Structure 1
Amino acid sequence: MLSKKRVVITIASALIGSPLMAADNPASHLHGQANLQLAFNDNRVDLLFESPAGNLLGFEHEPRTTEQQQTLDRVTSWLKATPLINTSESTCTVEAANVQRLGHDDGHAHAHTHTHGEEEHHADIEVTQVLVCSGLKQAASLVTPISTRFSGVEHLNIEWVGPDGQGATRLESGDQLFKLGR
């Protein structure tokens, strides 16, 4: 019989692996939508957040101006430093974080030329975080700053798995609180 820890790691690996395939599928790139996947184990959370870059930056192409580069730098810094989920008591801290900007075909922003000569770029931002949250095991609900920080995220799909089970919910623009259903 597998231990609870091994089960969480196995399921977390499956959850965390699935969006990588989605990044190669242009149909999964839906503006206004983002996905957040969480794997809980004691007071640790492994987190994967994926969104079209336009939801977070306001553009998907490589930065063309100083202002766009500053926006990219500011958003990247915020995503690395800010826990993307938290308990109501704000007890989560970022232990490790990585932010990547991915295109759909080769890991770079990918452009499609339309008949009117304009290019439409499809790039995603993928964030992984390892969080440590004291009081996580007792939390019946969590909060996320994503949909209030980024107005381009109109729908945030959240999935989680842990020793006490799994669940899913969807937050609309401006919503922060979601119940774990434990």
Structure 2
Amino acid sequence: MPRPLLALSLLLLTAGLARAEEPHRHSEHAHGEALAAHEHGIAQLNLALDGEILEIEFASPATNLVGFEHAARNDAERARVAEVRARLEQPLDLFGVPSAARCRVREHSLHGALFEPAGAGGQEHSEIEARYRLQCSAADALQGLNLAALFGTFPATQKIQVQLIGPRGQQGLELSPERSGLTF
């Protein structure tokens, strides 16, 4: 699938997720920007597997990952933000990518007000977003992922809403600490 088509597919999946039934959520206003909503304890994961390429997009309220959403106020909070950044920079372990698939990270990016210089993260309800592009030289061994390490590392994450595109088409599912595996 050409990269623009892959991006369009992920966009369509995300739009479908946004139309899903919505429980009570916190919303934020920032300088007249559109409303952004999130629910504590719940994260979103979009996956697209196309040949040797696995695209991962993970988004979560900051409180699920670091325990707070305000700009780090002291050394302990700054250390926690640095620790979370370091864990998010290790997607192969965090997302349970099987070593037999021989995947390597080709691109990654982390976004969120907590990762900005001091004073830039003044939002009350901030998000953390991570994007990865993996190349897997033995993609046939990539039958699924197990997110047990993610749930163990970030225990405030209670559910992950997953949208994926893989060899069997599009799927939507919900993962939890008790049900942390998915198949492509």
TM-score (norm 2): 0.74
Where does 1:42-61 land on structure 2 (aligned, <5 Å)?
Answer: 42-61=51-70
Aligned residues: 162
5+ unaligned residues in a row in structure 2: which ranges?
19-26, 29-33, 115-119
Change over 3 Å in CA distance of 1:62–1:37 after alignment to 2: same
Does 2:9 correspond to 1:11?
Answer: yes
Asked if structure 2 preserves the Cα contact closer than 8 Å seen for 1:30 and 1:52, the reply is yes
2:127 alignment counterpart: 124
Structure 2 Cα separation of the partners of residues 102 and 63 of structure 1: 10
Structure 1 Cα separation of the partners of residues 150 and 12 of structure 2: 23
Deviation at 1:108, TM superposition (A): 4.3
Asked if structure 1 preserves the Cα contact closer than 8 Å seen for 2:101 and 2:138, the reply is no
Structure 1 Cα separation of the partners of residues 113 and 100 of structure 2: 33
Change over 3 Å in CA distance of 1:16–1:93 after alignment to 2: farther
Matching residue's letter, 1:76: R
Change over 3 Å in CA distance of 1:127–1:168 after alignment to 2: same
Matching residue's letter, 1:12: L
Where does 1:24-173 land on structure 2 (aligned, <5 Å)?
Answer: 24-26=34-36, 28-83=37-92, 84-85=94-95, 86-87=97-98, 89=100, 91-102=102-113, 108-110=121-123, 121-144=124-147, 145-173=149-177
Structure 2 Cα separation of the partners of residues 174 and 123 of structure 1: 27
Q: Percent identity?
A: 23
Structure 2 Cα separation of the partners of residues 66 and 7 of structure 1: 44
Change over 3 Å in CA distance of 1:168–1:18 after alignment to 2: closer
TM-score (norm 1): 0.74
5+ unaligned residues in a row in structure 1: which ranges?
111-120
**Structure with the higher fraction of residues in strand conformation:** 1
Change over 3 Å in CA distance of 1:36–1:67 after alignment to 2: same
Structure 2 Cα separation of the partners of residues 174 and 89 of structure 1: 24
Matching residue's letter, 2:176: E
Asked if structure 2 preserves the Cα contact closer than 8 Å seen for 1:147 and 1:174, the reply is no
